[in-house]
């Protein structure tokens, strides 16, 4: 069994530290200390701390783009949708350091701004595709204005739920339960679902509590 390359260990360790104490509070020294390597060694593999952040962001971006490639014109079931939400929240939770200090990070690494905004747009678009699929299947009844508002609300919630949730247990930033987020997202949609689907969604949502 080949040992993990130092470069990858740096990424893993950084991600764990960023998530647990926040990216701005993590110094390159802390990362190398945690790994029992020298700071010089870290800088052999990455030319700056920003490069680590950007590479991690790149991984996140890749995962998200993959996930958000929701096929249009396909009938999506409620269960498929909640599974999708589950995966979405898991990905966000794995890279929650980005969201916890979002404005700060995007202002310091400004090439990430445009990429993050693109992700946001794709997220909103994905929710719209899902809602429109429901609408075609007559599982959802919603007017244009409400649909816009709902999709924005879903995007907002997908972004900030985990941070908001963390606030309730700021003492340990380690574990984050994506479940409550999925629950909350489903409850945003429930009012617009057809009666049968509503009942189904209510029951299904409870699994996430």
Partner DNA sequence: GTCTATAAGTAGATAGAC
Partner DNA sequence: GTCTATCTACTTATAGAC
Is the CB of 26 or the CB of 158 nearer to DNA?
26
- Under the binding rule (CB under 7 A), the answer on residue 38 touching DNA is yes
Given 33, 34, 45, 188, the residue binding DNA (CB under 7 A): 45
> CA 30: distance to chain centroid?
25
Where is 184: in which H helix or E strand?
helix 179-189
Is the CB of 37 or the CB of 156 nearer to a second copy?
156
Please give the residues from 15 up to 34 whose contact with DNA meets the rule CB under 7 A: 26-29
Residue with tokens 């200390």: 33
CA distance 157 to 186: 11
- Which of the choices DNA, a second copy, none does residue 38 contact, using the CB cut-off of 5 to 8 A by kind? DNA
Please give the residues from 50 up to 109 whose contact with DNA meets the rule CB under 7 A: 50
On the 0-12 / 13-18 / 19+ scale of CB atoms within 10 A, 186 is buried
Q: Rule CB under 8 A: which residues touch a second copy?
A: 21-22, 24-25, 100-104, 106-108, 113, 116-117, 120, 145-146, 149-150, 152-153, 155-157, 159-161, 163-164, 166-168, 170, 183-184, 187-188, 190-192, 202
Sign for the pseudo-dihedral over CA of 171, 175, 180, 182: positive
Contact 17, 31 (CB under 8 A): yes
On the 0-12 / 13-18 / 19+ scale of CB atoms within 10 A, 88 is buried
Residue 131 beta carbon to DNA: minimum distance, rounded to whole angstroms: 42
Is the CB of 4 or the CB of 65 nearer to DNA?
4
- Under the binding rule (CB under 7 A), the answer on residue 187 touching DNA is no
- Under the binding rule (CB under 7 A), the answer on residue 40 touching DNA is yes
CA distance 114 to 57: 12
The binding site for DNA (CB under 7 A) comprises: 5-7, 26-29, 36-41, 43-45, 47-50
């Amino acid at each position: 069994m080949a040992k993990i390359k130092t470069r990858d260990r740096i990424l893993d360790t950084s991600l764990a530290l960023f998530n647990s104490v926040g990216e701005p509070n993590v110094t390159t020294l802390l990362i190398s200390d945690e790994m029992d390597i020298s700071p010089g060694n870290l800088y052999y593999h990455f030319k700056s701390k920003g490069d680590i952040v950007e590479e991690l962001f790149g991984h996140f971006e890749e995962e998200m783009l993959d996930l958000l490639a929701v096929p249009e014109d396909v009938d999506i079931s409620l269960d498929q949708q909640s599974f999708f939400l589950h995966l979405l929240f898991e990905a966000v939770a794995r890279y929650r350091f980005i969201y916890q200090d979002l404005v700060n990070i995007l202002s310091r690494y400004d090439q990430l701004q445009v990429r993050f905004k693109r992700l946001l747009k794709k997220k909103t678009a994905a929710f719209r595709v899902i809602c429109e699929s429901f609408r075609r299947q007559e599982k959802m009844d919603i007017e244009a204005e409400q649909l816009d508002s709902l999709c924005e609300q879903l995007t907002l919630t997908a972004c900030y739920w985990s941070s908001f949730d963390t606030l309730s247990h700021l003492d340990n930033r380690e574990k984050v339960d994506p479940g409550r987020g999925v629950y909350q997202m489903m409850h945003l949609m429930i009012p617009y679902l057809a009666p049968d689907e509503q009942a189904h969604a209510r029951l299904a949502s409870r699994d996430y509590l």
